[in-house]
Structure 1
Amino acid sequence: MQGHNHGLRDEIKDYWSRRAETFDQSPGHEIFSEDERQAWHALLLKHLGHGDERRALDLASGTGVISHLMDDLGYRVTGIDWSEAMLERARAKAKARGRAISFFVGDAERTMEASDTYDVVVNRHLVWTLVDPEACFREWFRVLKPGGRLLVVDGDFVNVGRAERAARQLATWLERAGILKTDPMHAPPELAQQHKSILARVHFSKGARADAVADLLKKAGFDPVAIDSNLRGIHRSQAKNWNYFKALARGLQHRYAIVAVKPE
């Protein structure tokens, strides 16, 4: 099993490294409007508060989108990712924007950070890719200071309801008919099969439902753990980047934020 997990983790690393070149071109990844930036700020402030120079660790930071949002709010941010290709873009953006954000290669499951170091740990669209979420959650618990907060932003991208499926099918038909514009490609087509293969083998291969993630966080020692399913502000601001039916389908997905506290 360990050999299987090691191979899968390498494959996930390779996949995201290959995605790096076009990652920021996808709506839902980079921030494309001030409205979206403000919606993200509102979510972060709601669950984490202002930075006030507190230390924040952005796990699987990618090109640094969430790191920059945290920096906006006054956090001292460290971003780690195991894709050097992603980090090259993250560092370039930070330099261009004059941001003092530290980015380095690291593993979300074994951060190599000291215990009780960070006031906040945050990640976006990481949990659904995890091979061993229980080990990861214990690690995140360890690096947080007592009273520190974890914010997970994720979703179930596997289970597709009837309404979402119908909206997607209609969007595809109307695009092919030339009635609707073709939306930006979320990922290069040649990587679709690799993504499908990876998804079939991760822990949440049946979908990362919020309650299942919350239960594992409680098992790791977090208390309290709360689920926030109201991401409508972010969705509304992002919806402008898709045609009507694609935006409708995305809005029907099971997306959520989970805030979890390390007890004092």
Structure 2
Amino acid sequence: MIKYISQYWTDISSIYKKCVDAQFKNNRSIRLWENLLSNGIGEQPQQKILDAGTGPGFCATLLAQKGHLLTAVDVAPGMVEIARDNFLKNKVFVNLYCGDVANLEREASGTFDAVVSRDVVWTLPSPQAAYNEWWRVLKPGGRLVVFDGNFLNNQYQLLRPLWKKLSWILVLLSEKRNPTVNGMPEEMICNLPYISVLRPPEDKKLLEAIGFKIIEIKEKVFEPDWFYMEYLKYGHMSTKFMIVAEKS
């Protein structure tokens, strides 16, 4: 299944790039994500950080601009190429390669001060394998920072049809793309284990079983921020949350 997932994200990489390009141009979005990342990894300077599932390299770019030492991995060759272009454009050095975030065979155990993952865990065929691997590559006391979405969220259920129409218009205007093109295939979604569970409680249970100490869980990262463009465009799909955990 990992090959299928890799191909899918490569196929839509140019479309996803437009979404992230819009964020790079939005100063408010930049500040928000800089604060979230800083709160997650802590204040220690020049940390060695893994961006697991970097996509177009948004989080890796922001962290590298703060002076941290970045390694970025993504399973999709198309995403890796876009991330490489973004790193060059923003004049940051990132050790970037194509690989499976649940099988980091290039990385030695106890290597990183922090592992960051944004909108990745829900796409994985085995979240447990990824969490185990991220535990392995973290140093003792290292932090895991996960941003993801709870797709079982029923909040604003009555507003959702209208919200989806507003989202379509906003995506069309800000990203210059048709948001109905290249949606994730139903057969692929059905095989993803974290689409059909309540999150972040399920993540918390798994992380604690592995041995992580939960530092913070922020169940609604953007809500009810009706003036934040990313939330207006994509908030109807899931409730965004943040988990900060420590390898104790």
Q: TM-score range by the shorter chain?
A: 0.7 to 0.9
8 Å CA contact 1:224, 1:261 repeated in 2: yes
Aligned-partner SS, 1:183: helix
Unaligned runs of 5+ in 2: none
Task: Decide which of 180, 185, 193 is 1:189's aligned counterpart.
Answer: 180
Shift of 1:111: 0.8
Q: What is the CA–CA distance in structure 2 between the aligned matches of 1:224 and 1:168, rounded to whole Å?
A: 32
Q: Does 1:68 align with 2:61?
A: yes
RMSD: 2.8
8 Å contact kept, 1:51–1:76: no
Partner residue, 1:214: 204
Given the alignment, which residue of 98, 101, 105 partners 1:105? 98
Look up the match of 2:24: 31
> What's the CA shift for 1:97?
1.8
The AA in structure 1 aligned to 2:201 is: D
Task: Write the letter of the residue equivalent to 1:70.
Answer: L
Structure of larger gyration radius:
1
- Residue 136 (structure 1) aligned with residue 130 (structure 2): yes
Higher-RCO chain (CA-CA 8 Å, sequence separation at least 6):
1
Instruction: Determine the C-alpha separation between the residues in 2 that align with 1:14 and 1:184.
Output: 24
Identity of aligned residues (%): 26
| Residue 224 of structure 1: how far off its partner (Å) | 3.3
Tell me the TM-score normalised to structure 2 length.
0.87
**How do residues 15-164 of structure 1 correspond to structure 2 at under 5 angstroms?**
15-26=8-19, 30-50=23-43, 52-112=45-105, 113-157=107-151, 159-161=152-154, 163=156
Is 1:167–1:249's contact at 8 Å kept on the other side of the alignment?
no
Aligned-partner SS, 1:223:
strand
Q: Which runs of 4+ in 1 moved over 6 A?
A: none
The superposition leaves residues 192-228 of structure 1 with CA deviations (integer Å, 9 ceiling, x where unpaired) of 252x221111111314510101111111111235311
SS of residue paired to 2:113? strand
What is the rounded CA distance, in whole Å, between the counterparts of 2:86 and 2:224 in structure 1?
22
Q: 1:260 aligns with which of 240, 245, 248?
A: 245
Gaps of 5+ in 1: 1-7
Q: Deviations over 1:71-128 (max 9, x none)?
A: 1222101100011111111111111221111210111110111000000000001111
Asked if the contact 1:134/1:216 (under 8 Å) is kept, the reply is yes
Q: 1:250 to 1:147 in 2, by over 3 A?
A: same
